[in-house]
Amino acid sequence: VNEAALMAARVGRRFVTMEEFEEAKDKVMMGVERRSMVLTPEQKEMTAYHEAGHAVVGMKLPKCDPVYKATIIPRGQALGMVVSLPEMDKLNYHKDEAKQKIAMTMAGKAAEILKWGEEHVSNGPAGDIMQASAIARAMVMRWGMSDKVGNIDYSEAHEGYQGNTGGFSVSTKTKELIEEEVRELIDAGYKEARRILMENQEDWERLAQGLLEYETLTGEEIRKVMSGEAIHGD
């Protein structure tokens, strides 16, 4: 609210409108827009297909939070992003939901490889890989969601992954098993994302082109673009 009030004051408004609230929410959640950053047409195109990949997979998977907004305007450290928001406060995570979240997270890399091939993938998915790894490690090491590792809390090892937890050391065999399970979860998520993008190539293509044209799209606008409808009344 304070950020929205500052934005309204900067443009000389006497009242704070929904426009300022939306801008403030985006700034707080997504970071400050960096319109001064110049992207080459190639970088912009890769960002559009990458983010469209996240959005399409997120919208096709029922347990993912609804997609709130997609943008290819650089914000914070990111060249673009897709933001999903839960419809209500989230108090717990379920196994199928966590798997689908990993798939949505890996969809950016899957999109780049499908569009340009293995050798032309960028370092853009670095943040996605960190996020997917964090979810998969939590599933295996804290939430008891791996049958092979079992219902053992390796939370200290999860936080720092130093190989020591609760006063006893984690064996090499257990560490290898944990990493094998983490890798399997991430690989399965990547394969699921790739499958969804291949089955919905037209939607993905339309959305990427829509992002290149409009730069930022809301969830409702994304749905319209994917179904071939006009947005903004044009």
Tokens of 99: 């798997």
Cβ neighbours for 164, distance < 8 A, ≥ 6 positions apart:
156, 157, 170
Query: Mean pLDDT throughout 49-78?
Result: 90
Distance CA 169, CA 180 (A): 19
Q: Which residues are catalytic?
A: 51
State pLDDT tens for residues 127-160: 999 999 999 999 999 999 999 999 988 876 555 5
pLDDT at 166 (0 to 100): 52
Partners of 218 in the β-ladder = 69
The mean per-residue pLDDT over the stretch 66-70 comes to 90
Taking 3-state DSSP, the helix, strand and coil percentages for the chain, each rounded to the nearest 5, stand at: 60, 10, 30
User: Residue 70 — φ and ψ, nearest 5°?
Assistant: -130, 140
> What tens digit of pLDDT does each residue of 21-33 get?
888 887 777 777 7
- What are 63's two structure tokens? 């347990």
